[in-house]
């Protein structure tokens, strides 16, 4: 190999640097064009992205000003990607603020906006002369871990007086493993999620190695067999470990902004129906034992009690309610009547336990 003479060395260095710069530029242009083409053609895009953003992140969000394309009911999202009226970050002087965390039940899937328990509770409290603002942060498909991430990332800034959580624990292996990955290195996780926003990268990965459900490259679950779904359920002990950590973090976040916290696990319809068939009574020992054994979400209440977090038990009101009209659309989502009952339960809990700075007055039109 011949080396340039001292006289030609500067030019040699210049030419080498220019070649390197052109090589880097060519690579950048190639990937920029590839990214543009894949986005234009729609490659590497998932069906969920019509409604969700950051679908490759555990704390994914809903698309601002979008409307759910998969429901017969209009489910319109505001400028911040939440359902309901837009709530500014800045506090309104004299107003109390409640933030609701949950999944598609809290979001109010398949029911009109005005029938959701979040909306009804707000109206009920205002009927008691309480100046209350509500924010429905229900995010379909999420569990307590993801909701805690969302609260930390997006909702602490709203500085609510009360945070109401109606939720389920994480029971998925893929999310359990993802949680460990995130805990092992935040920088690596940020790089991974950032890279996953590239449509060209997604398309290449699909071609080289199609995504497996347990790797959580997306929230997309279509095409899974029943056996695959069953294999993704983690043990109750692992679920409990995650719930305890999430509740501790959520409580710490609420304590940091002076907010109170009220939580409950979701109600399964079958447990309510079975309890009625067996003529169980709300609050009775046999009902408590039966409900605990038939609803894994009860570990949310159990561990919250252990951590000194306020809990509520809507299952008692649902058990005592008449069979008609029906309260559930399916195994867990409420009908408008179910939302009404949940709103009444929460209104009673908030007022009786004085969970807001202002004391509740008697509802307008209520009997003396």
Q: What is the mean pLDDT of the chain?
A: 87
Alpha-carbon gap, residue 226 to 214, rounded angstroms: 14
Are 99 and 156 in the same domain? yes
Are 250 and 182 in the same domain? no
User: Which is it for strands 52-53 and 61-62: parallel, antiparallel or unpaired?
Assistant: antiparallel
Q: What is the dihedral of CA 118, 123, 128, 131, to 10 degrees?
A: 80
Predicted structure pTM score = 0.84
Residues in the chain: 368
Are 241 and 343 in the same domain? yes
Are 277 and 251 in the same domain? yes
Total domains in the fold of the chain: 3
Q: In this structure, is residue 362 part of a structural domain?
A: no
SS3 318: helix
Q: Which residues of the chain have pLDDT under 50?
A: 212-231, 368
pLDDT in tens, 66-101: 888 888 888 889 999 999 999 999 999 999 999 999
Q: In this structure, is residue 5 part of a structural domain?
A: no
Structural domain boundaries enclosing 99: 83-171+234-352
pLDDT in tens, 38-63: 888 888 777 777 788 877 777 788 88
Are 255 and 139 in the same domain? yes
Are 55 and 137 in the same domain? no
């Amino acid at each position: 190999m011949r080396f340039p003479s001292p006289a030609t060395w500067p030019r040699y260095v210049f030419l080498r640097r220019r070649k390197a710069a052109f090589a880097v530029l060519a690579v950048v242009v190639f990937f920029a064009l590839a990214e543009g083409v894949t986005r234009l053609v729609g490659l590497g895009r998932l069906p969920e992205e019509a409604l969700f953003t950051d679908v490759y992140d555990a704390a994914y969000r809903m698309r601002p000003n979008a409307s759910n394309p998969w429901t017969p009911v209009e489910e319109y999202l505001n400028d911040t990607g939440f359902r309901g009226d837009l709530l500014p970050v800045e506090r309104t002087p004299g107003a109390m603020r409640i933030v609701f965390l949950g999944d598609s039940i809290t979001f109010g899937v398949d029911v009109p906006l005005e029938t959701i328990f979040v909306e009804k509770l707000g109206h009920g409290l205002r009927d008691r002369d309480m100046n209350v603002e509500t924010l429905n942060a229900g995010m379909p498909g999420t569990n307590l871990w993801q909701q805690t991430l969302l609260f930390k990332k997006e909702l602490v800034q709203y500085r609510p007086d009360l945070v109401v959580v109606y939720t389920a624990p994480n029971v998925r292996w893929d999310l359990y493993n993802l949680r460990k990955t995130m805990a092992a290195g935040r920088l690596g996780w940020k790089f991974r999620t950032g890279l996953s926003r590239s449509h060209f990268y997604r398309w290449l990965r699909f071609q080289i190695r199609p995504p497996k459900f347990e790797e959580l490259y997306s929230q997309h679950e279509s095409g899974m067999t029943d056996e695959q779904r069953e294999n993704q359920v983690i043990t109750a002990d692992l679920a409990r470990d995650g719930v305890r950590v999430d509740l501790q973090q959520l409580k710490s976040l609420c304590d940091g902004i002076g907010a109170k916290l009220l939580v409950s696990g979701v109600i399964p319809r079958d447990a309510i129906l079975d309890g009625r068939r067996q003529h169980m009574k709300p609050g009775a020992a046999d009902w408590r034992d039966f409900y605990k054994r038939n609803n894994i979400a009860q570990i949310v209440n159990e561990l919250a009690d252990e951590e000194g977090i306020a809990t509520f038990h809507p299952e008692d009101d649902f058990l005592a309610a008449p069979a008609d009209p029906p309260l559930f659309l399916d195994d867990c989502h409420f009908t408008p009547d179910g939302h009404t009952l949940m709103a009444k339960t929460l209104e009673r809990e908030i007022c009786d336990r004085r969970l807001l700075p202002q004391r509740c007055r008697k509802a307008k039109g209520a009997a003396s």
